[in-house]
A and B are shown apart, each in its own frame.
Chain A
């Protein structure tokens, strides 16, 4: 286990962002279980390069994300690899909750009345974080929903699994390039709990081990081998 360099906890329904450098591990933990962490990724040098989940899913022939998978940008590079996962299935196909959706499910609330317990929504949370970097709604893309599982029947019906993630379950992302990480902890958009769920997500940063020749993400698919070549070329000459 590598030394934890930084640790923090995002309360349920909140948002944050940070630059994560190449060679850093980000470990997310679902503190109480049943949580959701929505995430978008951008290249800080050229934010037009961003997380592309359609490319991510099709090049690995997968609908779920778990250990051994990589998250790709639209430029054929790998933002991060999933090097450890206690959960087994993370959703990449449901987007995020917006104002109309949370009002429909949990009613309209005001800050005046509830202070920081006001019901926040995922789209607004993303927009606030994106605006800090000069990005806006045109820069939104399909997001990851860590800790949530959505099953699909043969005829396409989508269903959010109950209690997919247990208390303390963790997933570790090893960053393969410098990445702007945008995240929020609002409920999954298919969540139908009677009251607005507020699940804290803990996150820890540590320094990654160098990529080994037998790395599971590198070898999990031939496509990932080529993705790593693209990503390493991008860092050529950078120490």
Chain B
């Protein structure tokens, strides 16, 4: 469901540009609002959320879609943790639909989906693994904590016959999604570097994150 926000980034406590192929890790406190903006259009933003007070509690894609009874994320979707607790809620969305079924790209899945020689291309899982192995190693997260993610701005419709299609994005330059945190969360984003399918329009581009205090 389309819903615009009345917030102005001039009043945000933080505004950050994240380049394609980069990762970022930020805390968002309970009550704060996070906006992710697709600056140039058709950009998949591979996102994981953790409870920052207990990092072993994390976003659960499949609990979230089952409890809302709908496969796609949009305004009013409540993102649930693996413990069934509300983590964040989408309060504005000018894109209209976000995927949480398709997962993230990795070198190994590139070999299956595209070709063996695609395995050394940069991937979302590489970005996450580097983030938790180096700059954020103090968090104690490992590969087992990298679970099924949200792909903001990505469009993966299911057909009536049970097929899965990867459509050209329904997003466009300047589209955004805004979420209010219901607990203290830590976000781990890979701004997707995938060059082999239309999820980034074959041209990965920067995103902007803005965070407002409650």
| Complex CA–CA separation, A105 to B56 (angstroms) | 27
Segment among B14-22, B34-42, B62-70, B177-185 that sits at the interface with chain A: B62-70
- Chain B contact patch, size range: 35 or more
Write the chain B residue with the least CB distance to A157: B70
Instruction: Report yes or no: A61 in contact with B163, Cβ–Cβ below 8 A.
Output: yes
Contact with B along A47-63 (1 / 0, CB 8 A): 01000111101110111
Contact with A along B52-83 (1 / 0, CB 8 A): 00001000111101100111100000000010
| Complex CA–CA separation, A72 to B106 (angstroms) | 13
Point out the residue from A55, A94, A140 that lies within 8 Å of B66, measured CB to CB.
Answer: A94
| Complex CA–CA separation, A64 to B157 (angstroms) | 13
Query: Does B137 sit at the interface, judged by CB under 8 A?
Result: no
Instruction: Report yes or no: B62 in contact with A72, Cβ–Cβ below 8 A.
Output: no
Given A48-B144, A63-B162, A137-B56: A55 touches B71 (CB 8 Å cut-off) = no
Number of interface residues of A (CB under 8 A): 44
Given A54-B103, A93-B65, A156-B70: A76 touches B162 (CB 8 Å cut-off) = no
Point out the residue from B65, B70, B112 that lies within 8 Å of A230, measured CB to CB.
Answer: B112
Query: Does B158 sit at the interface, judged by CB under 8 A?
Result: yes
Write the chain B residue with the least CB distance to A56: B103
Point out the residue from A52, A98, A101, A140 that lies within 8 Å of B103, measured CB to CB.
Answer: A52
Query: Does A7 sit at the interface, judged by CB under 8 A?
Result: no
Point out the residue from B56, B106, B142, B163 that lies within 8 Å of A74, measured CB to CB.
Answer: B106
| Complex CA–CA separation, A98 to B62 (angstroms) | 12
When distances are taken between beta carbons in the complex, the residues of chain B under 8 Å from A190 are: 66
Complex A-B: 23 CB contacts under 8 Å: A48-B142, A54-B101, A57-B102, A58-B113, A58-B166, A59-B109, A59-B113, A61-B163, A61-B165, A62-B164, A64-B162, A74-B125, A94-B62, A95-B60, A137-B56, A139-B144, A140-B147, A141-B147, A156-B97, A158-B66, A223-B112, A226-B111, A226-B112
Q: A54-B103, A139-B144, A158-B71 are in contact. List 20 more A-B contacts (CB 8 A).
A: A54-B148, A58-B103, A58-B109, A58-B156, A58-B164, A63-B101, A63-B159, A64-B162, A74-B108, A76-B112, A100-B84, A137-B56, A142-B61, A142-B148, A152-B158, A156-B70, A156-B97, A156-B158, A190-B66, A230-B108
Sorted nearest first, the 5 A-B pairs with minimum C-beta distance are A54-B103, A76-B108, A64-B162, A95-B62, A156-B72
| Residues of chain A having any CB pair with chain B under 8 Å | 48, 52-55, 57-59, 61-64, 72, 74-77, 89, 93-95, 98, 100-101, 137-142, 151-152, 154-158, 189-190, 223, 226-227, 229-230
| Residues of chain B having any CB pair with chain A under 8 Å | 56, 60-63, 65-66, 69-72, 82, 84, 97, 101-104, 106, 108-113, 115-116, 125, 142-145, 147-148, 156-160, 162-166
